[in-house]
Amino acid sequence: MADIIPRPARAKQTDEKIWFSENTVFNGEFAEVAELFKNLIPKAQNASKNTLNFITDSDIAAEGYKILYSDGDINIFCGDKAGALYGFMTLIQLAGGKDCFNAVIIEDAPKYSWRGFMLDCSRHFWTVDKIKQILDYLAMIKMNVFHWHLCDDQGWRIEIKKYPLLTQKGAVRKGTQYSVNQLRDKDTTYVEGEYGKGLFYTQDDAREIVRYAAERNITVIPEIDVPGHSTAAIACYPEISCAGEAVEVEPHFGIFKNNLCVSKPEAYEFIKDVIDELCEIFPAPYFHIGGDEVLSDQWSNCPGCQALMKEKGLKNYTELQGYFNNILVAHLKAHGKQTIGWNEIISENLDSSAIPEVWTTDALQKSVEWAQKGGKTIQILYPYVYADQPYSIIPLSKTYNYNPVFFFFFYQKIIGFEMRQ
């Protein structure tokens, strides 16, 4: 039997020969899914005509499917369009480019409702066409969330009409870094020269990505990383920072001190305006606010932040960030959206509806404690699923065998997992 990714819950090899080619006729409510990937259907060599029937079965779980055979025809039983799509993608894998294969009876449904992939388009820009290609690949292996990292210290990549400088100025840096040898080590080289001019997504581009993804049962989750990793935004609008001083978009990669000032009304007006515009574009019920790697240097030297901590009785900078996060959580709730952030958002005062995305191993205990309080998490642990790391550090076998459930009781609190580029 051909290797199927991901491995089905149940599969039984048979000796029956099945034709599957461009001569196959598609019938049923969800036959349209075959059109999305008709270029992958094997060319007919000696194939007879047969039928692939998409049959609706309300007893099948969401996104699940069964593949059975009858007199040479193929039947995909499914409860929804997603199940039809995933059953069809399994057939593509079974065929392996040939128009005839041994029939395999398959029954499958996802273990996790969130099966995501994060793409960082701040440090390195990806064209709309390339993103569509990635979305096709995600659909092929039954992943259903595209987490779109749209800004960072190294560039702002999404059009915000109220703040045009974000893409006019914030998208551009004076140099960049590239990996020297992705197969061997983590060495990078710095290249002088302007990078990023015109490299951003218009709001129409974003709408097109959302539309294209939805056809493939993929939900697009935007990420605007705040209050840290905000150099590109502050370079355009310095009044949203503590010092209010001009900075340059960061050409190097790393962790930097430029934060939004959590005591300034201007900072809240800015991020709320950004959220308002993006919520009109992205219909997903989730919004990612980043929140990782926030250094406290500027807050510790900011009279406004110090006064705010005293006024609100905040014991440390983690709770100060929690105060900021809760304001965004409330704003997103008004849009009907649930907040996601990196595991650094976890704090004693964080709104319980927020979903931490756990990426650092030192946060595992915190995430368990969060789950014990009733909170949900997404798992994206660095040592297993960071595809931008050298293969010597994270080989494919390590990623493929990754199990995000590290404590038995924790299973029901994990809504899913992600890989990232």
183 compared with 286, residue with greater pLDDT: 286
Cα(175)–Cα(189) distance, integer angstroms: 11
200 compared with 5, residue with greater pLDDT: 200
Given a cut of 60, is residue 299 above it in pLDDT? yes
Cα(253)–Cα(251) distance, integer angstroms: 7
Choose the weakest-confidence range: 217-226, 230-239, 384-393.
Answer: 384-393
Cα(130)–Cα(132) distance, integer angstroms: 5
Cα(172)–Cα(107) distance, integer angstroms: 49
Task: Count Cα atoms within 13 angstroms, Cβ side, for 219.
Answer: 15
CATH class of 10-108: alpha beta
Mean pLDDT of the chain: 92
62: left (phi over 0), alpha (psi -120 to 50) or beta: beta
Choose the weakest-confidence range: 12-26, 148-162, 227-241.
Answer: 12-26
Task: Determine the residue type at 258.
Answer: N
223: left (phi over 0), alpha (psi -120 to 50) or beta: beta
Cα(227)–Cα(321) distance, integer angstroms: 8
Contacts of 252 (CB under 8 A, 6+ apart): 175, 177, 190
Superfamily name with CATH number, domain 114-420 = Glycosidases (3.20.20.80)
The pLDDT tens digits of the residues spanning 66-97 come to 999 999 999 999 999 999 999 999 999 999 99
Given a cut of 60, is residue 186 above it in pLDDT? no
Q: Domain residues of the chain, as ranges?
A: 10-108, 114-420
Q: What are phi and psi of 370, to 5 degrees?
A: -60, -45
Mean pLDDT across the stretch 86-110? 94
Q: Report pLDDT for 2.
A: 62
Given a cut of 50, is residue 360 above it in pLDDT? yes
State pTM to two decimals: 0.95
Burial of 214 per CB tally in 10 Å (0-12, 13-18, 19+): middle
The pLDDT tens digits of the residues spanning 308-324 come to 999 999 999 999 999 99
8-44 CB burial, b ≥16 within 10 A, e <16:
beebeeeeeebbbbeebebebebbebbebbeebbbeb
Mean pLDDT across the stretch 211-234? 98
